[in-house]
Structure 1
Amino acid sequence: MPQRVALELAVQDPAGAVIAADVGARRVELCSALGATGGLTPSAALIEAVVDAAAVVPSSDNAPLLEVHVLVRPRPGGFVYSSAEIDLMLRDVTLATDQGADGVVLGALTSSGTVDVARMRDLIAAAEDAEVTFHRALDVIADPLAALDTLAELGVARVLTSGGAARAGAGLSRLAALVERSAELGIEVMAGGGVTAADIPALLGTGVDAVHLSAKRSVVDAGGPGGGDEAGYEVTDPTLARAAAEALRTTVVP
């Protein structure tokens, strides 16, 4: 039987969710400020709008109903959070699931660089029946295999990881090791981090359960000195998204 690997797109607006559904993605990770910060928690209104956009029944029986998973990250930087930041994250988890999100994407570490079990337990409890993905905080943990065991015990559904490399295409050996360990634990491994369609065959060769990418392009739109200068903004590019979906569909995995 051919390997069935899910496609997840990181999107920042309802239009991105529509593109994800059109190319047959399984999930979107909804976030804000993706390029500038690596992603932050989106607003309540944005969550509601994207959940509505994703609720369209696919035109093909072979296409999945798109799931919306919301990034819960209160600020840029590392993943060691204060009590006040965890309280905000707990509120955001509840808000996201109340708006109809299928899952949340988050992570919390201790000052010694391990999974913060106590705070993760609270965040997972707040998610109730929604799936929890542990994001690329995994890539700064010294022993990701041990972390995988911990996260599986906590009930995390999957981890998003580049295999510890700047780009997932350069982290293949660690991705393969995580996949091998995950088979014993019942937790999914999703490859993400600088992924392009050209990377997908090699990533699938590691046995990952899913591939995550942003498929984004920048739109130049100067905001002036009070609007981010020349930064512009990012949109999901349908051509890049379609190329990724095609690479997943056509790659033959032994």
Structure 2
Amino acid sequence: MSIALELAVQDPAGVRIAREIGAARVELTQALALGGLTPSPATVELAVEAAGGEVEVHVLVRPRAGGFRYDDDELAVTARDIRHMLDHGATGVVIGCQDDSGALDRDALVRLVDAAGGASVTLHRVIDVTPDPLAALRVARELGLRRVLTSGGASAAIDGLATLRELVREADGRIQVMAGSGVDASNAAEIAATGVDALHFSAKRAVSASGGVRMGSASDGVGGYEVTDRAAAIATVAALRP
């Protein structure tokens, strides 16, 4: 298989599934239903142990839900979290931020890349909500980021194929383009055919829990959560084989 695979996971069990399917790396996060937030240091440590040196652990560092325009306090948290995640064994980090115009916040990205101290840095799907994804790709490349994760400016990568092809051409092999969002067994091969360097998918399933007392404004009762589904992950990989 020539295309690299990245599995988005939230726990060590997901990392073990990533190893089983031959993924090159995981994006470790929590709260995937919110687009992902920074996981705890203990989660990072246990994920690195589960990876066993066979899978790279890249940690999403995102201080909150609700967009990517951050104030100085939020950027300070993000920069410190980046250092903590790398200190706890992460291979790299996944970041992104916008300025008031909606474009990438170049100064903030420089600050966060500096915090990574030479470790691998991926730009997350903030690129998909910028006014010009091609311009955002150029900024990421100029700042030395390793790759961008993108759905081609659409809610799902299967609907952004044309832009994904444009991004691959613009990247010109100098920064990796990784397609993600809604990637599964039904569409993985078609998305891979755009020429992207990697596919990012979560293969997740929901686990619901009911309770008579509401626990938070966004939950029904005690709320539910999501886990990596081994069968879905295996099926996605199988769909990429000739």
Give the shorter-chain TM-score range.
over 0.9
- Name the counterpart of 1:162: 151
Q: Which residue in the other structure is 1:44 paired with?
A: 41
Separation of aligned partners in 1, 2:76 and 2:119: 18
CA shift for structure 1 position 226: 4.9
Residue of structure 2 equivalent to 1:31: 29
Q: Percent identity?
A: 51
Distance across 1 between alignment mates of 2:97 and 2:63? 11
Give the aligned partner of residue 60 of structure 1.
Answer: none
Deviation string, structure 1 residues 32-58 (Cα, Å, up to 9, x no partner): 1111x11100011111111111115xx
Report if the CA contact (8 A) 1:197-1:240 is conserved. Answer: yes
1:220–1:230 contact (8 Å) kept in structure 2 = no
Aligned partner of residue 177 in structure 1, secondary structure: helix
Partner in structure 2 of residue 80 of structure 1: 69
Q: Is the 8 A contact 1:25 1:245 kept in 2?
A: no
Q: Which runs of 5+ in 1 are unaligned?
A: 57-64
Superposed structure 1 runs of 4+ greater than 4 Å apart: none
Q: How many Å apart are 1:221 and its aligned residue? A: 2.1
1:219 Cα shift? 1.3
Aligned residues: CA RMSD = 1.3
TM-score between both structures, scaled by the size of structure 1: 0.90
Q: Quote the residue 2:224 is aligned against.
A: 232
Aligned to 2:189: 201
Q: TM-score, normalised by structure 2?
A: 0.95
**Conservation of the 8 A alpha-carbon contact between 1:167 and 1:194:** yes
- Contact 2:214 2:222 survives alignment (8 Å): no
CA distance in 2, matches of 1:43, 1:91: 13
Report the counterpart of residue 55 of structure 2 in structure 1. Answer: 66
Q: Which amino acid aligns with 2:36?
A: G
Task: Output aligned runs, 1:13-24, within 5 Å.
Answer: 13-24=11-22
- Deviation readout 1:134-182 (Å, 9 max, x if unpaired): 0000001111111111110100000000001110001000000000111
Aligned pair partner of 1:7 in 1, 5, 8:
5
Aligned equivalents of 2:212, 2:18: Cα separation in 1: 32
- In the alignment, the residues of structure 1 paired with residue 96 and residue 58 of structure 2 have an alpha-carbon distance, to the nearest angstrom, of 14
Q: 1:204 to 1:86 in 2, by over 3 A?
A: same
Query: Where does structure 2 lack aligned partners over 5 or more consecutive residues?
Result: none
Stretch deviating more after TM superposition (135-144 or 194-203)? 194-203
Name the count of aligned residue pairs: 238
3-state SS of paired residue (1:190): strand
CA deviations over 1:181-221 (Å, ceiling 9, x no partner): 1115x100000011111111111111000000110001122
In the TM superposition, what is the alpha-carbon distance from 1:231 to its structure 2 partner? 2.5
Check the 8 A contact 1:70/1:104 in 2, yes or no. yes
